[in-house]
Every structure is written in structure tokens, then in C-alpha cells.
């Protein structure tokens, strides 16, 4: 029986072209991927749909929710063995993680993109698309959460991040590495993810902001944020989860106002823990009610807090969810 793979295009460099005169890379009237001949295995049947044609800095949580709903609708309407989603690389990890947390279907879902547009020499788009189709059509790819496939590597949505501004090997999973590779013949997995973290969301309307800590950070930014009707804050703290003492009063003010503050580390390896007892150290932040995350980067913790806040703003419950 032929495998049925459904491709959803959302835009990004993979769907753009370079203007030979100006060198500017931008979307055209027609997505070049639609007319690119894809030589796929004859055992694979492809159907595709263009949901958006947006550069990924234009993608918002509302687009992500539309994508979740679209995947669920297609899964209910027809038999699909796997989904491939083309997306701009800048915010690809955020959309991938949003889908990981919210899509209920168990078939493989693979996101891909490109660092070089369709008419540039060495364009990586068609190759990454073909690799992603191979992965989505592999039985072992199911029940591994949403996957990200570029440059012959298979990563989990939870761990992958864009690490380089222009290199085609930009997607990496710091600390954990890829869970599989793409070969000429197909996909080979060497790890299985352990976590299973799912949420049912109808709407996404909470405002969550992301702040990075730095030497000498003051409380003023937190006081300003309190005036913006923000629903939650992600704080990319220092090292194992510490902030300068001058920032503590500001964090305390937000928590006392009922605004959850979730802490991640600005280090891209490791997790935050309540180790240090000095002023601004993790132990003090825990006593204040700061929520400790489990290794997500700042942009993904923001996605998770937006989703979690749709069902609870109880600090103890949020802390449980952020340990998953
Ligand atoms: N700026 C582009 C985007 O994210 C980069 C890319 O797709 O690779 O849409």
C-alpha cells in the first residue's frame, strides 16, 4: 500500500527566490516548491497544500494554532501516514514545539526549511524536503513527537534550535544531539524521546514576554512590564539559575502581582536548579515563587507558558508542568 504524505507549505526561504539584480531574497507570486519536480519513491503518494506563504518572522501564535487545527482536520477527514511542513527557519523551532505540545495525532509530523533560497547555488530546500518526506514515510518516525529534519539530521522539536545565521548545518540539539540520520536509502533512528507533554487548546490569547538577564540587570524593566498587562514572563537567567541582586525586587513585584515568572538559563546546555543561596541566587528565587524550567530554551518556554496559561495560572501547577 502506498504511503500518503501530506505536505503543508507555510513559507520561508525554502519558498523564496533571490533577485539576480539586487540580491534580495523574498517570496514571489508563486511558491517555487509547488513547481519543483520531486522525485520520490513510487510507494509514496504526495498531496500538498499552501496554508500560508510567510517569512517565519511573520508567524505568530495564531498561525501556529491554525496549523494545529489544520493538521487535526486533515487527519480526521482522510487517511494520512505522515505530514511534512515547510517553514522559515527563523521561528521554525517555535512552531515545531507548539505543534509538539498541541497536535494529538500520532502520525509523524516533520518540519523542514532551507538556508538558501530556491534559485541560489547549492539550494538546500528540495533536498531537505525530500529527506523530510522519507522520514515522514518511515514507520519508526511515529510517536516520537514532532521532528525537525534538515541537513541529513533528525531532531526533536523539544531540543532543536537554530544555531547559525547562514550555515546549512544550523539546526542542532545542544547537549542531546539528533535522534536519527537521513541516509540515501531512508531514515535511521538511534534514540527515542522520553517525554510526552500534550495540551488541548482552543484559543491562544495570553501575552508572554521573554527577557534575558545580564550583569548589572536592574528591576526597572520588571516594573515597566507590570504596567503592560503581561500574563507571564520567561526569564533567561544566568548560569544555573541566578540573577543580579538588583533585579530581585522587580521579579518579586511581578510574582506578587500574580504574574508567573518562569526561569530558563541563558546557557544553551544544562537545566536551572535552586543551587545558590546568595542574594539573587536560585534558592532565593525559588522562595520568591519563580518557576524553574527543565532545559527548554527561552523561546520554547514562552510557547509552553502561553499554552499552559490557557488552562491554569496556579504557580504550583505551572511548576509541575515545567518539570515535564
Ligand atoms: N528569514 C527566513 C525565514 O525564517 C529564513 C529562512 O527561512 O531560512 O523566513
Confidence tier at 115 by pLDDT (50, 70, 90): very high
How far away, in angstroms, is 14 Cα from ligand 1 center?
8
Ligand 1 pocket test, candidate residues 13, 54, 96, 118, most atoms within 8 A of CB:
13
Q: Do 3-189 and 208-321 come out as alike in CATH topology?
A: yes
Answer whether CATH 3.40.50.1170 is correct for domain 3-189.
yes
User: How many A from CA of 242 to the centre of ligand 1?
Assistant: 33
**Where are the extended beta strands (E) located within 135-290?**
147-150, 153-156, 161-162, 171-172, 180-182, 187-189, 208-212, 232-237, 261-265
Catalytic machinery residues: 13, 89
Average pLDDT over the chain, rounded to an integer: 95
Do the beta carbons of residue 82 and residue 54 sit within 8 Å? Answer: no
| Domain 208-321, CATH class in plain words | alpha beta
pTM, two decimal places: 0.96
Q: Is the pLDDT of residue 312 over 90?
A: yes
pLDDT at 85: 98
Cβ neighbours around 247 below 10 Å, total: 25
- pLDDT of 36 reads 74
pLDDT for res 241: 98
Answer whether 13 contacts ligand 1 (Cβ < 6 A): yes
For the chain, give every domain's residue range: 3-189, 208-321
Residue having the nearest C-alpha atom to atom 7 of ligand 1:
88
pLDDT in tens, 78-111: 999 999 999 999 999 999 999 999 999 999 999 9
Q: Residue 21 — pLDDT band, cuts 50, 70, 90?
A: confident
Query: Distance from the CA of 289 to the center of ligand 1, in angstroms?
Result: 37
Amino acid at each position: 500500500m502506498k504511503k500518503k504524505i501530506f505536505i503543508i507549505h507555510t513559507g520561508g526561504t525554502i519558498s523564496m527566490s533571490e533577485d539576480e539584480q539586487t540580491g534580495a531574497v523574498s517570496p514571489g507570486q508563486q511558491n517555487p516548491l509547488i513547481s519543483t519536480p520531486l522525485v520520490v519513491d513510487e510507494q509514496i503518494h504526495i498531496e500538498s497544500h499552501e496554508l500560508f506563504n510567510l517569512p517565519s518572522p511573520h508567524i505568530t501564535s495564531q498561525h501556529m494554532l491554525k496549523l494545529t487545527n489544520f493538521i487535526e482536520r486533515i487527519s480526521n477527514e482522510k487517511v494520512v501516514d505522515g505530514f511534512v511542513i515547510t517553514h522559515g527557519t527563523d521561528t521554525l523551532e517555535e512552531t515545531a514545539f507548539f505543534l509538539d505540545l498541541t497536535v494529538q495525532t500520532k502520525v509523524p509530523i516533520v518540519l523542514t526549511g532551507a538556508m538558501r533560497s530556491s534559485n541560489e547555488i547549492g539550494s538546500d530546500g528540495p533536498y531537505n524536503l525530500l529527506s523530510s518526506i522519507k522520514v515522514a514515510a518511515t514507520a519508526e518516525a511515529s510517536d516520537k513527537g514532532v521532528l525537525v529534519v534538515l541537513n541529513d539530521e533528525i531532531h526533536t522539536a523539544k531540543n532543536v534550535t537554530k544555531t547559525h545565521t547562514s550555515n546549512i548545518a544550523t539546526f542542532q540539539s545542544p547537549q542531546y544531539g539528533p535522534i536519527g540520520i537521513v541516509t540515501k536509502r531512508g531514515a535511521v533512528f538511534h534514540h527515542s524521546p522520553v517525554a510526552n507533554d500534550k495540551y488541548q487548546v482552543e484559543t491562544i490569547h495570553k501575552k508572554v514576554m521573554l527577557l534575558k538577564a545580564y550583569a548589572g540587570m536592574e528591576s526597572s524593566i520588571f516594573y515597566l512590564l507590570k504596567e503592560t498587562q503581561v500574563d507571564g514572563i520567561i526569564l533567561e537567567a544566568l548560569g544555573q539559575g541566578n540573577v543580579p541582586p538588583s533585579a530581585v525586587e522587580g521579579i518579586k513585584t511581578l510574582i506578587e502581582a500574580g504574574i508567573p515568572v518562569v526561569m530558563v538559563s541563558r546557557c544553551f546546555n544544562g537545566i536551572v536548579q535552586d543551587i545558590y543561596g546568595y542574594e539573587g541566587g536560585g534558592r532565593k528565587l525559588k522562595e520568591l515563587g519563580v518557576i524553574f524550567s527543565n532545559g527548554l530554551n527561552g523561546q520554547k518556554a514562552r510557547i509552553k507558558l502561553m499554552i499552559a496559561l490557557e488552562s491554569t495560572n496556579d504557580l504550583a501547577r505551572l511548576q509541575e508542568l515545567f518539570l515535564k
